[in-house]
Structure 1
Amino acid sequence: MRAERLLRLLLHLQTRGQTTVAQLAEALDISPRTIQRDLEVLSLAGVPIYSIRGRRGGWALLPDYRTRLTGLTPSEVMSVFVGATAHVLADLGLDASSEQAVTKLIAALPEPTRREAEYARQRLLIDHAGWDDRRETPHWLAVCQQAVWQELQLEIEYGDHTFAVSPLGLVAKSRTWYLVATRPDGQLRTYRLSRVTSAELTNRRFTRPPSFDLATHWSNAQREFLASRPTYPVTLKAQPHAIPRFRPTEPITPTDNGWWIIHTDLENPHEACATVLAQAGAAIALQPPELITLVREAANTIAKSH
Structure 2
Amino acid sequence: MRASRLLSLLLLLQTRGMMTAPEIARELEVSVRTVYRDVEALSAAGVPVYADRGPAGGYRLLDGYRTRLNGLSAEEAASLFLAGLPGPAADLGLGEEAAAAGLKLLAALPPEPRSHAARMRERFHLDVPGWYRQADEVPHLGVVADAVWDERPLRMVYRRWGPREVERIVHPYGVVLKGGSWYLVAGADGGGPRTYRVARIVSVEPLPGRFERPEGFDLAAYWQEWSADFRRRMYTAEARLRLAPGAEPMLGLSAGQDVAEAALAAAGPPDADGWREIVLPVESLRHGRWVLLRMGADVEVLGPPELRKLMEEAIADLAALYGVRPD
* TM-score using structure 1 length: 0.54
The equivalent residue for 1:256 is 272
Whichever residue aligns with residue 188 of structure 1, its letter is P
Give the alignment partner of residue 188 of structure 1, picking from 174, 188, 193: 193
Question: By how many angstroms is 1:218 displaced?
Answer: 0.9
Equivalence for 1:158: 158
* 1:200 aligns to 2:205 (yes or no): yes
Contact conserved, 2:174 with 2:186, CA < 8 A, in 1? yes
Offset at residue 305 of structure 1 (A):
2.2
Q: 1:274 aligns with which of 272, 278, 290?
A: 290
Q: Distance in 2 between matches of 1:149 and 1:78?
A: 23
Question: Partner amino acid for 1:272?
Answer: G
Distance 1:192 1:252, change over 3 A: farther
Does structure 1 residue 170 correspond to structure 2 residue 175? yes
Instruction: Give percent identity, aligned residues only.
Output: 28
Segments of 5+ residues of structure 1 without an aligned counterpart are 1-10, 15-65, 71-75, 84-127
Q: Distance in 2 between matches of 1:68 and 1:151?
A: 35
Q: Does 1:289 align with 2:305?
A: yes
Aligned to 1:226: 231
Q: Work out the CA distance in 2 between the residues paired with 1:78 and 1:218.
A: 25
Give the count of matched residue pairs: 194
The alpha-carbon distance between structure 1 residues 155 and 77, as it changes in their structure 2 partners (threshold 3 A), is: farther
Task: State the distance in 2 between where 1:287 and 1:256 align.
Answer: 21
Partner of 1:88: none
Superposition pairs for residues 20-99 of structure 1, below 5 Å?
68-69=71-72, 80=83
Give the superposition deviation at 1:185: 2.6
1:165-192 CA distance string (max 9 Å, x none): 1111111221222100111334311111
Task: Please tell me whether the aligned partners of residues 251 and 295 of structure 2 are also in contact (alpha carbons under 8 angstroms).
Answer: no
Aligned structure 1 segments of 4 or more residues deviating by more than 4 angstroms: 66-70, 76-79, 132-135
Question: Which amino acid is 2:296 matched to?
Answer: A
1:299 maps to which residue?
315
Amino acid aligned to 2:286: H
Tell me how far apart the structure 2 counterparts of residues 186 and 292 of structure 1 sit (CA, whole Å). 43
Larger radius of gyration: 2
User: How does the TM-score come out when normalised to structure 2?
Assistant: 0.51
Report the secondary structure of 2:207's partner residue: strand
**What's the secondary structure of 1:137's corresponding residue?**
coil
What residue is the counterpart of 1:244 in the other structure?
252
Residue 230 of structure 1, CA deviation: 5.2
- Secondary structure of 1:138 counterpart: coil
Q: Equivalents in 2 of 1:78, 1:191: separation in Å?
A: 29
Which residue is 2:119 aligned to?
A: none
Q: In structure 1, how many angstroms separate the alpha carbons of the residues matched to 2:158 and 2:305?
A: 41
Letter of the structure 2 residue corresponding to residue 227 of structure 1 = R
Give yes or no for contact 1:153–1:201 (8 Å, CA) kept in 2: yes
* 1:147 pairs with 2:151: no
In structure 2, runs of 5+ residues without a counterpart are 8-68, 74-78, 87-127, 160-164, 323-327
1:117-138 CA distances to partner (integer Å, 9 max, x unpaired)? xxxxxxxxxxx898x9675323
1:204, distance to aligned residue in structure 2 (A): 2.5
> Is the contact between residue 166 and residue 181 of structure 1 (CA under 8 Å) also seen in structure 2?
yes
Match of 1:62 in 2: none
Q: Following the alignment from structure 2 to structure 1, what is the Cα–Cα distance between the partners of residues 72 and 212?
A: 31
AA at the equivalent of 2:147: A
> Following TM superposition, by how much is the alpha carbon of 1:67 offset from its aligned partner in structure 2, in angstroms?
7.0
CA contact (8 A) 2:289 2:310 kept: yes
Aligned-pair CA distance for 1:69: 4.2
1:204 and 1:77, CA in 2 relative to 1: closer, same or farther beyond 3 A? farther
- What secondary structure is seen at the aligned counterpart in 2 of 1:255? coil
CA, structure 1 residues 82+188, in 2 after alignment: closer, same or farther (shift >3 Å)?
Answer: farther
Residue in structure 2 matched with residue 209 of structure 1 by the alignment = 214
Asked if the contact 1:242–1:283 (Cα under 8 Å) also holds between the matched residues in 2, the reply is no
Contact 1:154-1:167 within 8 A present in 2 as well? yes
Q: Report if the CA contact (8 A) 2:187-2:193 is conserved.
A: yes
Equivalent position amino acid for 1:141 in 2 = L
Per-residue CA deviations over 1:56-112 (Å, capped at 9, x if unaligned) read xxxxxxxxxx97449xxxxx96963999xxxxxxxxxxxxxxxxxxxxxxxxxxxxx
Give, as a single letter, the amino acid of the residue that structure 1 aligns with 2:151.
Answer: E
Alignment deviations for residues 11-60 of structure 1 (CA, whole Å, 9 cap, x no partner): 9xx9xxxxxxxxxxxxxxxxxxxxxxxxxxxxxxxxxxxxxxxxxxxxxx
Cα deviation, residue 232, structure 1: 1.4
Change (3 A) 1:129 1:175: closer
